[in-house]
Structure 1
Amino acid sequence: MRRELHAEWTKLRTVAGPGWLLLGIVVLTVAGSAAAAGAMECPSPGCGQDATRIGLFGVQLGQGLVALLAVVAVCGEYSTGMIRTTLIAMPRRTAALAARTGLLAGLALAAGTLGVLGSLLVARLLLPGNGFTPEHGYPPLSLADGPTLRAAAGSVLYLGLVAVLSAGVATAVRDSAVAAGAVLGLLYLFPVIVLMIRNEDVQRLLWRISPMNAGLAVQATTSLPTMPIGAWAGLGVAAAWAGPRCCAAGGCSATGTPEAAGRCSAGGTTEAAGRRAAAVCPCADETPKYEIPDFGGIRLLAGALLDKSHEFSAVRVGVDL
Protein backbone atom coordinates (compact mmCIF):
# COMPACT_ATOMS: atom_id res chain seq x y z
CA MET A 1 0.00 0.00 0.00
CA ARG A 2 2.92 2.37 0.62
CA ARG A 3 3.89 2.15 -3.04
CA GLU A 4 0.36 2.99 -4.17
CA LEU A 5 0.14 5.93 -1.75
CA HIS A 6 3.45 7.30 -2.99
CA ALA A 7 2.32 7.03 -6.61
CA GLU A 8 -1.01 8.76 -5.95
CA TRP A 9 0.72 11.49 -3.94
CA THR A 10 3.19 12.04 -6.79
CA LYS A 11 0.37 12.46 -9.28
CA LEU A 12 -1.59 14.88 -7.10
CA ARG A 13 1.26 17.10 -5.97
CA THR A 14 2.66 17.60 -9.49
CA VAL A 15 -0.62 18.96 -10.88
CA ALA A 16 -1.66 22.54 -10.14
CA GLY A 17 -5.42 21.93 -9.91
CA PRO A 18 -5.61 19.99 -6.61
CA GLY A 19 -3.41 22.52 -4.83
CA TRP A 20 -5.65 25.42 -5.82
CA LEU A 21 -8.76 23.45 -4.85
CA LEU A 22 -7.30 22.70 -1.42
CA LEU A 23 -6.56 26.39 -0.92
CA GLY A 24 -10.06 27.20 -2.13
CA ILE A 25 -11.58 24.84 0.43
CA VAL A 26 -9.88 26.74 3.26
CA VAL A 27 -10.63 30.19 1.88
CA LEU A 28 -14.26 29.48 0.96
CA THR A 29 -14.98 27.83 4.30
CA VAL A 30 -13.57 30.75 6.27
CA ALA A 31 -15.19 33.35 4.00
CA GLY A 32 -18.61 31.69 4.23
CA SER A 33 -18.39 31.54 8.00
CA ALA A 34 -17.27 35.18 8.16
CA ALA A 35 -20.24 36.23 6.02
CA ALA A 36 -22.67 34.31 8.22
CA ALA A 37 -21.15 35.67 11.43
CA GLY A 38 -21.35 39.20 10.08
CA ALA A 39 -24.96 38.85 8.95
CA MET A 40 -26.54 37.25 12.04
CA GLU A 41 -27.58 39.36 15.01
CA CYS A 42 -28.67 38.73 18.59
CA PRO A 43 -30.28 41.97 19.81
CA SER A 44 -31.57 40.59 23.12
CA PRO A 45 -30.92 37.75 25.56
CA GLY A 46 -32.31 34.40 24.55
CA CYS A 47 -32.46 35.12 20.83
CA GLY A 48 -32.38 31.39 20.12
CA GLN A 49 -29.41 31.33 17.75
CA ASP A 50 -26.72 28.64 17.71
CA ALA A 51 -23.48 30.62 17.66
CA THR A 52 -21.30 27.58 16.97
CA ARG A 53 -23.37 26.52 13.98
CA ILE A 54 -23.29 30.05 12.62
CA GLY A 55 -19.51 30.07 12.95
CA LEU A 56 -19.25 26.80 11.00
CA PHE A 57 -21.64 27.78 8.21
CA GLY A 58 -18.78 27.92 5.71
CA VAL A 59 -18.47 24.11 5.83
CA GLN A 60 -21.60 23.96 3.68
CA LEU A 61 -19.74 25.91 0.99
CA GLY A 62 -16.38 24.23 1.38
CA GLN A 63 -17.88 20.77 0.87
CA GLY A 64 -18.59 21.65 -2.75
CA LEU A 65 -14.90 22.16 -3.47
CA VAL A 66 -14.06 18.97 -1.58
CA ALA A 67 -16.36 17.10 -3.95
CA LEU A 68 -14.78 18.78 -6.99
CA LEU A 69 -11.30 17.91 -5.72
CA ALA A 70 -12.15 14.21 -5.55
CA VAL A 71 -13.95 14.21 -8.90
CA VAL A 72 -11.10 15.99 -10.70
CA ALA A 73 -8.47 13.71 -9.15
CA VAL A 74 -10.32 10.54 -10.17
CA CYS A 75 -11.90 11.43 -13.51
CA GLY A 76 -8.86 13.32 -14.79
CA GLU A 77 -7.06 10.02 -15.38
CA TYR A 78 -9.93 8.60 -17.40
CA SER A 79 -10.36 11.70 -19.57
CA THR A 80 -6.65 11.85 -20.49
CA GLY A 81 -6.11 8.11 -20.80
CA MET A 82 -3.46 8.13 -18.07
CA ILE A 83 -5.47 5.47 -16.23
CA ARG A 84 -3.73 2.94 -18.49
CA THR A 85 -0.35 3.89 -17.04
CA THR A 86 -1.73 3.76 -13.51
CA LEU A 87 -3.06 0.24 -13.99
CA ILE A 88 0.19 -0.94 -15.56
CA ALA A 89 2.24 0.47 -12.69
CA MET A 90 -0.25 -0.66 -10.02
CA PRO A 91 -2.14 -3.72 -11.30
CA ARG A 92 -3.86 -4.26 -7.93
CA ARG A 93 -6.83 -2.06 -8.67
CA THR A 94 -8.46 -2.33 -5.26
CA ALA A 95 -5.22 -1.22 -3.58
CA ALA A 96 -4.87 1.67 -6.03
CA LEU A 97 -8.46 2.78 -5.35
CA ALA A 98 -7.96 2.52 -1.59
CA ALA A 99 -4.75 4.57 -1.80
CA ARG A 100 -6.38 7.27 -3.91
CA THR A 101 -9.47 7.46 -1.71
CA GLY A 102 -7.43 7.50 1.48
CA LEU A 103 -5.17 10.24 0.16
CA LEU A 104 -8.11 12.39 -0.93
CA ALA A 105 -9.79 11.90 2.44
CA GLY A 106 -6.57 12.86 4.21
CA LEU A 107 -6.18 16.02 2.15
CA ALA A 108 -9.81 16.93 2.78
CA LEU A 109 -9.31 16.41 6.52
CA ALA A 110 -6.20 18.63 6.49
CA ALA A 111 -7.85 21.42 4.52
CA GLY A 112 -11.03 21.03 6.57
CA THR A 113 -9.11 21.37 9.81
CA LEU A 114 -7.58 24.66 8.68
CA GLY A 115 -10.94 25.88 7.38
CA VAL A 116 -12.82 24.98 10.56
CA LEU A 117 -10.21 26.52 12.86
CA GLY A 118 -10.18 29.68 10.75
CA SER A 119 -13.98 29.81 10.78
CA LEU A 120 -14.16 29.56 14.56
CA LEU A 121 -11.52 32.25 14.93
CA VAL A 122 -13.36 34.63 12.59
CA ALA A 123 -16.68 33.92 14.30
CA ARG A 124 -15.11 34.53 17.72
CA LEU A 125 -14.03 37.96 16.51
CA LEU A 126 -17.21 38.98 14.65
CA LEU A 127 -20.11 37.55 16.65
CA PRO A 128 -19.66 39.70 19.81
CA GLY A 129 -20.12 42.81 17.70
CA ASN A 130 -23.54 41.53 16.60
CA GLY A 131 -24.88 40.91 20.08
CA PHE A 132 -23.51 37.42 20.77
CA THR A 133 -22.06 38.46 24.11
CA PRO A 134 -21.87 36.84 27.57
CA GLU A 135 -24.59 39.26 28.69
CA HIS A 136 -26.92 37.68 26.09
CA GLY A 137 -25.89 34.16 27.06
CA TYR A 138 -23.19 33.61 24.43
CA PRO A 139 -19.64 33.21 25.75
CA PRO A 140 -16.83 33.52 23.19
CA LEU A 141 -16.44 30.45 20.98
CA SER A 142 -13.71 28.17 22.28
CA LEU A 143 -12.55 24.63 21.62
CA ALA A 144 -12.35 24.20 25.37
CA ASP A 145 -16.14 24.03 25.32
CA GLY A 146 -17.24 20.40 24.81
CA PRO A 147 -20.13 20.99 22.35
CA THR A 148 -18.02 23.39 20.28
CA LEU A 149 -15.15 20.91 20.10
CA ARG A 150 -17.56 18.17 19.03
CA ALA A 151 -19.05 20.42 16.35
CA ALA A 152 -15.60 21.35 15.02
CA ALA A 153 -14.26 17.79 14.97
CA GLY A 154 -17.47 16.47 13.43
CA SER A 155 -17.35 19.10 10.69
CA VAL A 156 -13.82 18.03 9.75
CA LEU A 157 -14.82 14.37 9.68
CA TYR A 158 -17.84 15.26 7.54
CA LEU A 159 -15.61 16.86 4.90
CA GLY A 160 -13.50 13.71 4.84
CA LEU A 161 -16.63 11.63 4.25
CA VAL A 162 -17.65 13.94 1.40
CA ALA A 163 -14.28 13.25 -0.23
CA VAL A 164 -14.79 9.48 0.11
CA LEU A 165 -18.33 9.71 -1.29
CA SER A 166 -17.19 11.82 -4.24
CA ALA A 167 -14.27 9.54 -5.03
CA GLY A 168 -16.57 6.52 -5.05
CA VAL A 169 -19.11 8.14 -7.36
CA ALA A 170 -16.39 9.42 -9.70
CA THR A 171 -14.75 6.00 -9.91
CA ALA A 172 -18.08 4.38 -10.71
CA VAL A 173 -19.24 6.77 -13.46
CA ARG A 174 -15.77 7.84 -14.75
CA ASP A 175 -17.10 11.12 -16.14
CA SER A 176 -16.30 14.38 -14.39
CA ALA A 177 -19.48 16.25 -15.38
CA VAL A 178 -21.80 13.41 -14.41
CA ALA A 179 -19.94 12.68 -11.17
CA ALA A 180 -19.83 16.34 -10.11
CA GLY A 181 -23.51 16.80 -10.93
CA ALA A 182 -24.50 13.68 -9.00
CA VAL A 183 -22.52 14.54 -5.87
CA LEU A 184 -23.41 18.24 -5.80
CA GLY A 185 -27.05 17.42 -6.45
CA LEU A 186 -27.04 14.94 -3.58
CA LEU A 187 -25.45 17.47 -1.24
CA TYR A 188 -27.32 20.64 -2.22
CA LEU A 189 -30.46 19.65 -4.15
CA PHE A 190 -31.63 16.89 -1.83
CA PRO A 191 -32.13 19.31 1.14
CA VAL A 192 -34.13 21.66 -1.10
CA ILE A 193 -36.41 18.82 -2.16
CA VAL A 194 -36.89 17.90 1.50
CA LEU A 195 -38.15 21.42 2.24
CA MET A 196 -40.72 21.11 -0.55
CA ILE A 197 -42.39 18.09 1.08
CA ARG A 198 -45.52 19.11 2.98
CA ASN A 199 -46.03 15.90 4.93
CA GLU A 200 -44.13 16.41 8.17
CA ASP A 201 -43.43 12.72 8.77
CA VAL A 202 -42.05 12.21 5.27
CA GLN A 203 -40.07 15.44 5.50
CA ARG A 204 -38.54 14.36 8.80
CA LEU A 205 -37.62 10.96 7.36
CA LEU A 206 -35.98 12.47 4.28
CA TRP A 207 -34.15 14.98 6.47
CA ARG A 208 -32.69 12.12 8.50
CA ILE A 209 -31.36 10.31 5.42
CA SER A 210 -30.07 13.40 3.63
CA PRO A 211 -26.25 13.24 3.70
CA MET A 212 -25.78 16.98 4.25
CA ASN A 213 -28.62 17.58 6.70
CA ALA A 214 -27.83 14.50 8.76
CA GLY A 215 -24.05 14.87 8.51
CA LEU A 216 -24.03 18.50 9.60
CA ALA A 217 -26.32 17.81 12.56
CA VAL A 218 -23.05 17.32 14.42
CA GLN A 219 -22.65 21.11 14.38
CA ALA A 220 -25.71 21.70 16.57
CA THR A 221 -24.99 22.76 20.15
CA THR A 222 -28.46 24.01 21.19
CA SER A 223 -31.99 22.55 21.03
CA LEU A 224 -30.58 19.04 20.63
CA PRO A 225 -33.78 17.25 21.79
CA THR A 226 -35.73 18.80 18.92
CA MET A 227 -33.26 17.69 16.25
CA PRO A 228 -34.57 14.98 13.87
CA ILE A 229 -31.37 13.00 14.43
CA GLY A 230 -28.54 12.98 16.95
CA ALA A 231 -25.16 14.55 16.31
CA TRP A 232 -23.03 11.42 15.90
CA ALA A 233 -25.90 9.41 14.43
CA GLY A 234 -26.17 12.00 11.68
CA LEU A 235 -22.47 11.64 10.94
CA GLY A 236 -23.08 7.90 10.75
CA VAL A 237 -25.68 8.51 8.04
CA ALA A 238 -23.10 10.44 6.03
CA ALA A 239 -20.66 7.55 6.50
CA ALA A 240 -23.34 5.13 5.31
CA TRP A 241 -23.68 7.16 2.11
CA ALA A 242 -19.93 7.23 1.53
CA GLY A 243 -18.92 3.67 2.44
CA PRO A 244 -21.13 1.56 0.13
CA ARG A 245 -20.48 3.80 -2.86
CA CYS A 246 -16.76 3.54 -2.40
CA CYS A 247 -17.02 -0.26 -2.06
CA ALA A 248 -19.23 -0.44 -5.16
CA ALA A 249 -16.71 1.64 -7.07
CA GLY A 250 -14.00 -0.78 -5.96
CA GLY A 251 -16.04 -3.62 -7.38
CA CYS A 252 -16.40 -1.81 -10.70
CA SER A 253 -12.68 -1.04 -10.76
CA ALA A 254 -11.72 -4.61 -10.01
CA THR A 255 -13.82 -6.06 -12.80
CA GLY A 256 -12.61 -3.91 -15.66
CA THR A 257 -11.63 -5.17 -19.07
CA PRO A 258 -8.12 -6.33 -19.97
CA GLU A 259 -7.77 -3.43 -22.37
CA ALA A 260 -8.14 -0.97 -19.51
CA ALA A 261 -4.84 -2.10 -18.08
CA GLY A 262 -3.02 -1.02 -21.23
CA ARG A 263 -0.48 -2.82 -23.44
CA CYS A 264 3.12 -3.70 -22.77
CA SER A 265 5.22 -1.48 -24.99
CA ALA A 266 7.86 -4.20 -25.40
CA GLY A 267 5.49 -6.36 -27.38
CA GLY A 268 3.75 -8.39 -24.67
CA THR A 269 0.32 -7.95 -23.18
CA THR A 270 -0.97 -6.98 -19.75
CA GLU A 271 -4.12 -8.75 -18.60
CA ALA A 272 -6.13 -7.89 -15.50
CA ALA A 273 -8.88 -10.01 -14.01
CA GLY A 274 -10.71 -9.26 -10.77
CA ARG A 275 -8.45 -8.26 -7.90
CA ARG A 276 -5.34 -9.87 -9.41
CA ALA A 277 -3.30 -8.72 -12.40
CA ALA A 278 -0.21 -10.28 -13.94
CA ALA A 279 2.08 -8.86 -16.55
CA VAL A 280 3.48 -11.18 -19.22
CA CYS A 281 6.24 -9.73 -21.43
CA PRO A 282 9.01 -11.38 -23.42
CA CYS A 283 11.43 -8.82 -21.98
CA ALA A 284 11.37 -10.30 -18.48
CA ASP A 285 15.04 -9.64 -17.77
CA GLU A 286 14.94 -6.04 -18.96
CA THR A 287 13.39 -2.90 -17.54
CA PRO A 288 10.71 -1.80 -19.97
CA LYS A 289 9.44 1.76 -19.80
CA TYR A 290 6.00 2.87 -20.75
CA GLU A 291 5.92 6.41 -22.09
CA ILE A 292 2.60 8.17 -22.19
CA PRO A 293 2.09 11.18 -24.50
CA ASP A 294 2.24 14.57 -22.90
CA PHE A 295 -1.14 15.42 -21.34
CA GLY A 296 -1.40 19.08 -20.35
CA GLY A 297 2.34 19.53 -19.86
CA ILE A 298 2.81 16.45 -17.72
CA ARG A 299 4.58 13.27 -18.81
CA LEU A 300 4.44 10.26 -16.54
CA LEU A 301 6.94 7.44 -16.98
CA ALA A 302 6.16 4.15 -15.30
CA GLY A 303 9.07 1.73 -15.10
CA ALA A 304 8.35 -1.84 -14.07
CA LEU A 305 10.90 -4.48 -13.14
CA LEU A 306 9.74 -7.97 -14.04
CA ASP A 307 11.17 -11.01 -12.27
CA LYS A 308 11.41 -14.55 -13.66
CA SER A 309 7.85 -15.35 -12.62
CA HIS A 310 6.69 -12.53 -14.93
CA GLU A 311 5.03 -10.62 -12.11
CA PHE A 312 5.61 -7.06 -11.01
CA SER A 313 8.35 -7.04 -8.39
CA ALA A 314 8.94 -3.29 -8.20
CA VAL A 315 7.41 -0.22 -9.74
CA ARG A 316 8.83 3.24 -10.15
CA VAL A 317 6.54 6.12 -10.97
CA GLY A 318 8.05 9.51 -11.77
CA VAL A 319 6.76 12.79 -13.14
CA ASP A 320 8.74 14.97 -15.50
CA LEU A 321 7.43 18.51 -15.84
Structure 2
Amino acid sequence: MNAVNCEWTKLRTSPGTVWLALAVVVTTAGVSLLAAVATRCADGTCAFDPAKVSLTGVAVGQAVVAVLGVLAVGTEYSSGTMRLTLAAVPRRTHVLAAKAVVLAAIVGAAAVPSTLLSLWAGRAYLDDPPDLGSGAVLRAAVGSVLYLVLVALLSLGLATVTRNSATAIGAVLALLYVVPILATAVRDADLEKHLKQLGPMNAGLAVQATRGLDELPIGPWKGLGVLCLWAVGALVLAAVLLTRRDA
Protein backbone atom coordinates (compact mmCIF):
# COMPACT_ATOMS: atom_id res chain seq x y z
CA MET A 1 0.00 0.00 0.00
CA ASN A 2 2.87 2.39 0.76
CA ALA A 3 4.27 1.77 -2.71
CA VAL A 4 0.90 2.61 -4.26
CA ASN A 5 0.68 5.82 -2.23
CA CYS A 6 4.17 6.83 -3.32
CA GLU A 7 3.43 6.18 -6.98
CA TRP A 8 0.11 8.00 -6.74
CA THR A 9 1.83 11.03 -5.21
CA LYS A 10 4.51 11.07 -7.91
CA LEU A 11 2.09 10.80 -10.83
CA ARG A 12 -0.55 13.08 -9.32
CA THR A 13 1.92 15.89 -8.66
CA SER A 14 3.53 15.66 -12.09
CA PRO A 15 2.17 18.42 -14.38
CA GLY A 16 2.70 16.19 -17.41
CA THR A 17 0.35 13.55 -16.04
CA VAL A 18 -2.54 15.98 -15.68
CA TRP A 19 -2.08 17.46 -19.14
CA LEU A 20 -1.70 14.08 -20.80
CA ALA A 21 -4.84 12.78 -19.07
CA LEU A 22 -6.74 15.83 -20.32
CA ALA A 23 -5.26 15.29 -23.77
CA VAL A 24 -6.65 11.75 -23.79
CA VAL A 25 -10.16 13.12 -23.24
CA VAL A 26 -9.85 15.96 -25.73
CA THR A 27 -8.21 13.88 -28.45
CA THR A 28 -10.50 10.88 -28.14
CA ALA A 29 -13.73 12.85 -27.91
CA GLY A 30 -12.64 15.39 -30.53
CA VAL A 31 -11.74 12.82 -33.18
CA SER A 32 -14.95 10.90 -32.45
CA LEU A 33 -16.95 14.11 -32.92
CA LEU A 34 -15.26 14.78 -36.26
CA ALA A 35 -15.93 11.20 -37.37
CA ALA A 36 -19.59 11.45 -36.40
CA VAL A 37 -20.04 14.76 -38.22
CA ALA A 38 -18.29 13.48 -41.35
CA THR A 39 -20.16 10.17 -41.56
CA ARG A 40 -23.37 10.26 -43.56
CA CYS A 41 -25.73 7.59 -44.85
CA ALA A 42 -25.68 7.07 -48.62
CA ASP A 43 -29.10 7.16 -50.28
CA GLY A 44 -30.78 6.66 -46.93
CA THR A 45 -28.86 3.41 -46.34
CA CYS A 46 -26.53 3.25 -43.36
CA ALA A 47 -24.06 0.41 -43.76
CA PHE A 48 -21.65 1.51 -41.02
CA ASP A 49 -21.44 0.40 -37.40
CA PRO A 50 -22.68 3.43 -35.41
CA ALA A 51 -20.95 2.43 -32.16
CA LYS A 52 -17.62 1.86 -33.87
CA VAL A 53 -17.86 5.18 -35.72
CA SER A 54 -18.76 6.96 -32.48
CA LEU A 55 -15.69 5.47 -30.79
CA THR A 56 -13.27 6.25 -33.63
CA GLY A 57 -11.30 8.59 -31.39
CA VAL A 58 -10.08 5.71 -29.25
CA ALA A 59 -7.74 4.66 -32.08
CA VAL A 60 -6.14 8.13 -31.93
CA GLY A 61 -6.36 8.79 -28.21
CA GLN A 62 -4.42 5.59 -27.53
CA ALA A 63 -1.27 7.33 -28.78
CA VAL A 64 -1.53 9.83 -25.90
CA VAL A 65 -2.24 6.96 -23.51
CA ALA A 66 0.90 5.21 -24.76
CA VAL A 67 2.99 8.30 -24.03
CA LEU A 68 1.45 8.58 -20.55
CA GLY A 69 2.18 4.91 -19.86
CA VAL A 70 5.79 5.19 -20.99
CA LEU A 71 6.51 8.36 -19.04
CA ALA A 72 5.14 6.79 -15.85
CA VAL A 73 8.44 4.96 -15.59
CA GLY A 74 10.60 6.40 -18.38
CA THR A 75 11.11 9.75 -16.69
CA GLU A 76 12.49 8.03 -13.59
CA TYR A 77 15.07 6.17 -15.64
CA SER A 78 16.08 9.30 -17.56
CA SER A 79 16.42 11.39 -14.39
CA GLY A 80 18.05 8.66 -12.33
CA THR A 81 15.38 8.78 -9.62
CA MET A 82 14.56 5.11 -10.24
CA ARG A 83 17.50 4.27 -7.98
CA LEU A 84 15.85 6.19 -5.14
CA THR A 85 12.52 4.51 -5.81
CA LEU A 86 14.01 1.03 -5.69
CA ALA A 87 16.01 1.91 -2.58
CA ALA A 88 12.82 3.03 -0.84
CA VAL A 89 10.92 -0.09 -1.95
CA PRO A 90 13.45 -2.96 -2.19
CA ARG A 91 10.92 -5.44 -3.58
CA ARG A 92 11.04 -4.33 -7.17
CA THR A 93 7.97 -6.21 -8.30
CA HIS A 94 5.98 -4.18 -5.76
CA VAL A 95 7.20 -1.00 -7.45
CA LEU A 96 6.08 -2.20 -10.87
CA ALA A 97 2.74 -3.42 -9.51
CA ALA A 98 2.14 -0.09 -7.77
CA LYS A 99 2.91 1.83 -10.95
CA ALA A 100 0.52 -0.42 -12.89
CA VAL A 101 -2.32 0.08 -10.39
CA VAL A 102 -1.95 3.87 -10.29
CA LEU A 103 -1.53 4.18 -14.05
CA ALA A 104 -4.60 2.01 -14.68
CA ALA A 105 -6.64 4.19 -12.32
CA ILE A 106 -5.54 7.44 -13.98
CA VAL A 107 -6.08 6.18 -17.53
CA GLY A 108 -9.41 4.65 -16.55
CA ALA A 109 -10.52 7.97 -15.08
CA ALA A 110 -9.68 9.68 -18.39
CA ALA A 111 -11.09 6.89 -20.56
CA VAL A 112 -14.58 6.94 -19.02
CA PRO A 113 -15.45 10.56 -19.95
CA SER A 114 -13.67 10.09 -23.30
CA THR A 115 -15.95 7.17 -24.12
CA LEU A 116 -19.11 8.85 -22.88
CA LEU A 117 -18.41 12.03 -24.86
CA SER A 118 -17.64 9.97 -27.95
CA LEU A 119 -20.95 8.13 -27.71
CA TRP A 120 -22.74 11.43 -27.13
CA ALA A 121 -21.21 12.72 -30.37
CA GLY A 122 -22.54 9.66 -32.17
CA ARG A 123 -26.00 10.14 -30.71
CA ALA A 124 -26.01 13.82 -31.64
CA TYR A 125 -24.62 13.75 -35.18
CA LEU A 126 -24.94 10.31 -36.76
CA ASP A 127 -27.91 9.66 -39.04
CA ASP A 128 -28.08 6.18 -37.52
CA PRO A 129 -26.99 6.78 -33.90
CA PRO A 130 -25.91 4.00 -31.56
CA ASP A 131 -28.56 2.60 -29.22
CA LEU A 132 -27.18 3.38 -25.78
CA GLY A 133 -29.56 0.88 -24.24
CA SER A 134 -28.13 -1.97 -26.29
CA GLY A 135 -25.96 -4.59 -24.62
CA ALA A 136 -23.63 -4.57 -27.61
CA VAL A 137 -23.10 -0.81 -27.32
CA LEU A 138 -22.51 -1.15 -23.59
CA ARG A 139 -19.90 -3.82 -24.33
CA ALA A 140 -18.27 -1.52 -26.89
CA ALA A 141 -18.14 1.32 -24.34
CA VAL A 142 -16.76 -0.77 -21.47
CA GLY A 143 -14.39 -2.51 -23.85
CA SER A 144 -13.05 0.84 -25.09
CA VAL A 145 -12.23 1.90 -21.52
CA LEU A 146 -10.49 -1.42 -20.88
CA TYR A 147 -8.69 -1.12 -24.20
CA LEU A 148 -7.10 2.20 -23.25
CA VAL A 149 -6.12 0.87 -19.82
CA LEU A 150 -4.46 -2.17 -21.40
CA VAL A 151 -2.57 0.03 -23.87
CA ALA A 152 -1.25 2.02 -20.91
CA LEU A 153 -0.10 -1.16 -19.14
CA LEU A 154 1.54 -2.45 -22.32
CA SER A 155 3.39 0.87 -22.59
CA LEU A 156 4.47 0.71 -18.96
CA GLY A 157 5.84 -2.78 -19.46
CA LEU A 158 7.79 -1.90 -22.60
CA ALA A 159 9.17 1.27 -21.00
CA THR A 160 10.46 -0.78 -18.06
CA VAL A 161 12.01 -3.30 -20.45
CA THR A 162 13.75 -0.72 -22.65
CA ARG A 163 14.47 1.86 -19.90
CA ASN A 164 14.32 4.53 -22.60
CA SER A 165 11.22 6.67 -23.23
CA ALA A 166 11.83 7.32 -26.93
CA THR A 167 12.52 3.66 -27.68
CA ALA A 168 9.48 2.51 -25.73
CA ILE A 169 7.14 5.03 -27.38
CA GLY A 170 8.41 3.97 -30.80
CA ALA A 171 7.90 0.29 -29.96
CA VAL A 172 4.35 0.79 -28.66
CA LEU A 173 3.27 2.95 -31.59
CA ALA A 174 4.78 0.45 -34.03
CA LEU A 175 2.80 -2.38 -32.42
CA LEU A 176 -0.39 -0.34 -32.49
CA TYR A 177 -0.19 1.31 -35.91
CA VAL A 178 2.39 -0.47 -38.07
CA VAL A 179 1.05 -4.00 -37.59
CA PRO A 180 -2.40 -3.05 -38.99
CA ILE A 181 -0.69 -1.49 -42.02
CA LEU A 182 1.28 -4.69 -42.58
CA ALA A 183 -1.92 -6.71 -42.25
CA THR A 184 -3.58 -4.78 -45.05
CA ALA A 185 -0.45 -4.85 -47.22
CA VAL A 186 0.01 -8.62 -47.38
CA ARG A 187 -1.48 -10.49 -50.32
CA ASP A 188 -2.17 -13.75 -48.52
CA ALA A 189 -5.69 -13.73 -47.04
CA ASP A 190 -4.86 -16.23 -44.30
CA LEU A 191 -1.77 -14.31 -43.23
CA GLU A 192 -3.78 -11.08 -43.20
CA LYS A 193 -6.39 -12.68 -40.96
CA HIS A 194 -3.75 -14.01 -38.56
CA LEU A 195 -2.04 -10.62 -38.34
CA LYS A 196 -5.37 -9.01 -37.50
CA GLN A 197 -6.02 -11.67 -34.89
CA LEU A 198 -2.63 -11.20 -33.24
CA GLY A 199 -2.06 -7.46 -33.63
CA PRO A 200 -2.89 -5.62 -30.38
CA MET A 201 -4.83 -2.82 -32.09
CA ASN A 202 -6.78 -4.86 -34.64
CA ALA A 203 -7.67 -7.52 -32.10
CA GLY A 204 -8.35 -5.15 -29.21
CA LEU A 205 -10.62 -2.77 -31.11
CA ALA A 206 -12.82 -5.68 -32.19
CA VAL A 207 -14.56 -5.11 -28.87
CA GLN A 208 -16.13 -1.96 -30.35
CA ALA A 209 -17.99 -3.84 -33.09
CA THR A 210 -21.77 -4.17 -32.70
CA ARG A 211 -22.65 -5.26 -36.24
CA GLY A 212 -21.26 -7.87 -38.62
CA LEU A 213 -19.61 -9.84 -35.84
CA ASP A 214 -19.44 -12.95 -38.04
CA GLU A 215 -17.22 -11.05 -40.46
CA LEU A 216 -14.63 -10.10 -37.83
CA PRO A 217 -11.28 -11.93 -37.86
CA ILE A 218 -11.67 -12.40 -34.09
CA GLY A 219 -14.55 -12.03 -31.63
CA PRO A 220 -14.94 -8.85 -29.53
CA TRP A 221 -13.96 -10.24 -26.13
CA LYS A 222 -11.39 -12.64 -27.58
CA GLY A 223 -9.79 -9.70 -29.35
CA LEU A 224 -9.58 -7.72 -26.14
CA GLY A 225 -8.11 -10.83 -24.55
CA VAL A 226 -5.31 -10.78 -27.12
CA LEU A 227 -4.44 -7.22 -26.11
CA CYS A 228 -4.58 -8.32 -22.47
CA LEU A 229 -2.02 -11.04 -23.24
CA TRP A 230 0.24 -8.46 -24.87
CA ALA A 231 0.01 -6.23 -21.78
CA VAL A 232 0.52 -9.09 -19.32
CA GLY A 233 3.45 -10.42 -21.35
CA ALA A 234 5.12 -7.01 -21.36
CA LEU A 235 4.62 -6.60 -17.60
CA VAL A 236 5.91 -10.10 -16.81
CA LEU A 237 9.03 -9.51 -18.91
CA ALA A 238 9.42 -6.11 -17.23
CA ALA A 239 9.16 -7.71 -13.78
CA VAL A 240 11.79 -10.33 -14.62
CA LEU A 241 14.26 -7.80 -16.02
CA LEU A 242 13.59 -5.30 -13.25
CA THR A 243 14.60 -7.85 -10.61
CA ARG A 244 17.68 -9.03 -12.50
CA ARG A 245 19.20 -5.78 -13.76
CA ASP A 246 20.88 -2.94 -11.92
CA ALA A 247 18.81 0.20 -11.54
Which interval holds the TM-score relative to the shorter structure?
Answer: over 0.9
CA shift for structure 1 position 52: 0.7
**Size of the alignment, in residue pairs?**
247
Please state which structure has a larger fraction of its residues in strand: 1
* 1:182 aligned to which of 162, 171, 174: 171
Query: Is residue 2:30 matched to residue 1:31?
Result: yes
What's the RMSD between the two structures over aligned residues? 1.0
In the TM superposition, 1:23-62 aligns within 5 A as 23-62=22-61
Deviation readout 1:256-310 (Å, 9 max, x if unpaired) = 23xx3xxxxxxxxxxxxxxxxxxxxxxxxxxxxxxxxxxxxxxxxxxxxxxxxxx
* 2:195 aligned to which of 199, 206, 212: 206
Query: Is residue 2:162 matched to residue 1:173?
Result: yes
SS at the partner of 1:42? coil
* 2:232 aligned to which of 230, 235, 243: 243
SS at the partner of 1:250? helix
**Counterpart of 2:84?**
85
Which residue identity is paired with 2:19?
W
CA shift for structure 1 position 209: 0.5
Give the TM-score of the pair, scaled to structure 2: 0.97
CA distance in 2, matches of 1:68, 1:49: 31
Gaps of 5+ in 1: 133-137, 261-321
CA distance in 1, matches of 2:66, 2:131: 29
CA distance in 2, matches of 1:8, 1:53: 34
Which residue identity is paired with 2:233?
P
**Counterpart of 1:215?**
204
CA shift for structure 1 position 43: 3.1
In the TM superposition, 1:89-238 aligns within 5 A as 89-127=88-126, 132=127, 138=128, 140-238=129-227
Q: Which 4+ runs in 1 deviate beyond 2 A?
A: 43-47, 140-143
**Counterpart of 2:8?**
9
Deviation readout 1:178-230 (Å, 9 max, x if unpaired) = 00000011101110111100111111111110100010001111111111110
Give the TM-score of the pair, scaled to structure 1: 0.75
CA distance in 1, matches of 2:101, 2:32: 27
CA distance in 2, matches of 1:13, 1:232: 32
Query: Is residue 2:62 matched to residue 1:63?
Result: yes
Which residue identity is paired with 2:163?
R
CA shift for structure 1 position 244: 1.0
**Counterpart of 2:21?**
22
Identity of matched residues, %:
47
Which gives a bigger RCO, structure 1 or 2 (Cα 8 Å, sep 6+)? 2
CA shift for structure 1 position 85: 1.1
Gaps of 5+ in 2: none
CA shift for structure 1 position 145: 1.2
CA shift for structure 1 position 142: 3.9
CA distance in 2, matches of 1:86, 1:207: 39
CA shift for structure 1 position 47: 2.8
Which residue identity is paired with 1:194?
A
CA distance in 2, matches of 1:85, 1:204: 46
Structure 1 residues 26, 153: CA separation in 2 closer, same or farther (over 3 Å shift)?
A: same
Please state which structure has a larger fraction of its residues in helix: 2
Mean CA deviation greater in 80-89 or 36-45: 36-45
